[in-house]
Structures are given as structure tokens and as C-alpha cells.
Amino acid sequence: MTRPAPPPPVLRLPSATLQVCATKENDTPRGIANRCGCKLDDLLRENEEAWPDLQGSSRMLKDTQLVLPPVRDVVTGPDALPPVGMPRLADKIEVEVEEAPGDPAVWKKAEVRRMRAGARFSVCVDGDEAFIEEYGMEDEGSEWRRVGAPAASLAVSLAGRRLVMERRAEHPGSSD
């Protein structure tokens, strides 16, 4: 009998800050996980100590604080690395919005809410939960732009790539 190959190593990159979600009245962990682009099981596990009876369908009171699972888990492999400079979950950016047809476009604040395949992400514009837009890296500078310190996001992404490459060098062939 042949033993199955071990899973590829997973590197957990340090997150700059703990990400917390303040819930709305009657939010559920399932809805929050979906909105934030994380796995429900990860969200429940991250909050198990504070909320041991929390389930996917639990109804939350307004402003209950839930810790979001880290979004910087990187499974090593040829296609597993996030694009350099990609915004992270909960990052604040600005997006270009035309408020009415023919009006000049204005820049509005937005928050990254979900990471999508193909170097794309969804944002909530101006705190309006019904105003969700999707962007990609190719739209940076024209449709969306960074707020604050763009170098910090790039530095984290580059540091993550360096750690993965070092791990590959230490364990050649373990992830490919």
C-alpha cells in the first residue's frame, strides 16, 4: 500500500493588524463569512474561545465583535501566490464613481470585502452594503486607487513571496 503524499506546507504570514468585524443586528456567521470571503469553519474556529456555541446560523446582536480569520495563509505551489501588491481583505481604497449619467466621476471610499479568483476583488462603496463593485489589478489607477501607504501592502506581499521561496529552497520538491 502506497502512502499518500503529505500536503504542501502552509506558511502563515503575520498580519499587520487583527481584523475584527462589527456585526449588524441579525447578521449570521455564514453571511459574514460570505461577505468577507472567508470559510465559515475558519471564522467559527477563530472565535471559538470567545463564542463557544457560535454556529453558522446564529443570529448576532448589533456591534458584536467577531475576529476574522487571517487571509494571508499561503499554500506553496506554482499558482498559489497572490499577485504582488494585491489589496487585502478589509483594506481601504478609493473607487471612481459616476453618481449620475453625464456627471463627472468622483473618488469614493471603499472597503475590500471579498477576494476573488483571477487577481480580482469586491468592495463595498461608501459604506453602502447594496453598492458592491468588483475590480482587478488591471484597474488600479483608473478605476480604483490605494489610500494611505501603498508601499506597506506591497512590502507584505513581497515578504510573503520571499518566505515561500525560502521554504521551497529548504524543501525542494515538497510542493510541486
Percent of the chain at pLDDT exceeding 70 = 65
Say yes or no to pLDDT of 13 above 80.
no
The CATH number of whichever domain residue 31 belongs to comes to 3.10.350.10
143: containing domain: 83-170
Q: Give the residue from 70, 96, 114 where a domain finishes.
A: 70
Per the structure, the count of domains in the chain is 2
151 vs 136: which has the higher pLDDT: 136
Chosen domain end from 28, 43, 70: 70
**Higher pLDDT pick, 48 / 69:** 48
Residue 88 and residue 44 share a domain: no
What integer is the mean pLDDT of 130-137?
A: 88
Closest CA to 109 of 129, 88, 95: 95
Does the pLDDT of residue 20 top 70, yes or no? Answer: yes
Asked if residue 147 and residue 88 are part of one domain, the reply reads yes
Q: Are residues 60 and 127 in the same domain?
A: no
At residue 149, the pLDDT reads 46
User: Is residue 127 domain-shared with residue 165, that is, in the same domain?
Assistant: yes
My answer on whether 63 and 91 are in the same domain is no
Task: Check whether residue 46 and residue 114 sit in a common domain.
Answer: no
Distance set, CA 127 to CA 41, 108, 110, 113, 147 (Å): 26, 10, 7, 11, 16
Residue 35 falls inside a structural domain: yes
For 86, other C-beta atoms within 10 Å of its C-beta total 20
Question: Model pTM?
Answer: 0.42
CATH assignment of the domain containing 132: 2.30.30.140
